[in-house]
Structure formats: structure tokens, C-alpha cells
Structure 1
């Protein structure tokens, strides 16, 4: 259910900008948006995230974001 530009047609810069914007507006949509708005927001976010992961399968992962990193913080 692509609404807007197909994520495959976005430049890398545009894809990242769209992802950042969706993540910025997520909580407002969750707390105050209609059910339809939340469903659309979720669908679009998933489309863009899938495209990002396809383009960057070897993205840099912060070791602090892994279980081992969490264990080291709590020790």
C-alpha cells in the first residue's frame, strides 16, 4: 500500500530524510492520530525501513545497542 513516492524511487538522501521525519512524528501519530492515520503511518514507516535495510544490509551497528553492550552497562 504505497502512498506517496515508492521508496525504491527515492534517493538515499530522500529516503533517510523521510525516515527521520516519520520517526519524529511517530509518537504524535500514536497518541493523537486517528486509527487510519496510525495504520498509514505504520505502513509507510515499514516500507521505508525495508528499503533502507535492503540498501544498507551491512549498516554500522552500535555495540551498545546489542545485548552484550547492555549487559556491560548493567554490570
Structure 2
């Protein structure tokens, strides 16, 4: 399945990104994490070289998947170094 709106987009359930895969809430945890990783990996290329439609679809799908991730793991592990206090400690 592609996630950038290219040929080969999933013919499964229509997502809010216009058919770009299975609805996020229907994905297993492993599939959700794999799709998120793939979209994050392809974001730069889509931004630089994708069509407007591909970028729009990528943005919508990424937002949908990230929202589902946050819904499933609202108490996700936050690295203390990624907080303001952690950044100040590095200075």
C-alpha cells in the first residue's frame, strides 16, 4: 500500500484521506506504528517532490494516524530531555 496518493493505494476501507488505506482505528497497534514510521520517513520527499494532491493526502493521512496514536496512548512515554527543563539542562 502506498500512502502518498500514488498508484497502488489500498483498495480497502476508505480512509478520510480519500481511500489511502484502512481507517486508523481499524489498524492493529503494529500496523499503526508501521504506517506512522513509513509516513514520517516519506514526508520530506513528498513535501519536496510530490504533487499538491499527494502532499494534501499525505498530510491528512499523517494527521489521522497521529490522532489515533494519541488516542491509544494518551500517556505515552515522554523523554525528559525533550521538555523545556531538559533543554535548559543541556545549555
Give the TM-score taking structure 2 as reference length.
0.79
Equivalent in the alignment of 2:71: 54
Give the TM-score taking structure 1 as reference length.
0.95
Compute the RMSD of aligned alpha carbons.
0.8
Equivalent in the alignment of 2:44: 27
Are 1:7 and 2:21 an aligned pair? no
Structure number with the higher helix fraction is 1
1:31-70 Cα shifts (integer Å, max 9, x gaps): 1001111010000000000000000000100001111111
* Stretches of structure 1 lacking an aligned partner (at least 5 in a row): none
* Stretches of structure 2 lacking an aligned partner (at least 5 in a row): 1-15
**Aligned-residue offset at 1:5:** 0.3
Equivalent in the alignment of 1:67: 84
